[in-house]
């Protein structure tokens, strides 16, 4: 029963939406969001690096389970030009900050605290989390997945 409730809690109701969205092989749409330090960060600021966009939230147990692998991945490949932008779909700043601290997240964190109504989440057609987009140095999406282990394999291949 808990598993079923967890699955439902990490999904948005999409019954009224049409399919489509960002695809592998396309340029990742640029966006700008505030970080935990309230400074603005744009995806285009990271052009020239391999970037993982990780859409997640503090209340999503599946997202939190993926975090340790992402922390290790960044530790291993940051010096080679790998970066992670965690885009939180939280709506409460305190929950977001606590999850970053409790999970020892060592990457860049961004949010507008609008949950699934975030314009960035809408642009990327994020209807469930975790949702991850691997963007190469030229800004091209090379992977869309919900699995940190799939990201790890692709990053290892890249380097």
Using DSSP, state whether 134 is helix, strand or coil: strand
In this structure, is residue 59 part of a structural domain? yes
In this structure, is residue 94 part of a structural domain? yes
Q: Is the distance from CB of 50 to CB of 79 less than 8 angstroms?
A: no
Domain of residue 61 covers 34-158
- Spatial CA neighbour of 11 closest among 139, 109, 112, 130: 130
**Given a cut of 70, is residue 7 above it in pLDDT?**
no
pLDDT 10s digits, 78-121: 999 999 999 999 999 999 999 999 999 999 999 999 999 999 99
In this structure, is residue 18 part of a structural domain? no
Structural domain tally of the chain?
Answer: 1
In this structure, is residue 16 part of a structural domain? no
In this structure, is residue 20 part of a structural domain? no
CATH number, domain with residue 152: 3.40.30.10
In this structure, is residue 112 part of a structural domain? yes
């Amino acid at each position: 029963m808990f598993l079923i409730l967890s699955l439902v809690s990490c999904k948005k109701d999409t019954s009224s939406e049409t399919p489509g969205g960002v695809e592998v092989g396309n340029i990742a749409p640029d966006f700008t969001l505030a970080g935990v330090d309230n400074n603005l960060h744009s995806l285009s600021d990271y052009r020239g690096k391999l970037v993982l966009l990780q859409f997640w939230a503090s209340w999503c147990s599946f997202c939190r389970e993926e975090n340790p692998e992402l922390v290790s991945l960044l530790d291993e490949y940051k010096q080679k030009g790998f970066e992670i932008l965690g885009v939180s779909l939280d709506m409460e700043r305190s929950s977001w900050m606590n999850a970053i601290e409790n999970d020892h997240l060592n990457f860049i964190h961004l949010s507008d605290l609008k949950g699934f109504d975030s314009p960035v989440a809408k642009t990327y057609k994020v209807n469930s989390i975790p949702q991850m987009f691997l963007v190469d140095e030229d800004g091209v999406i090379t992977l869309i997945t919900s699995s940190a282990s799939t990201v790890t394999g692709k990053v290892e291949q890249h380097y």
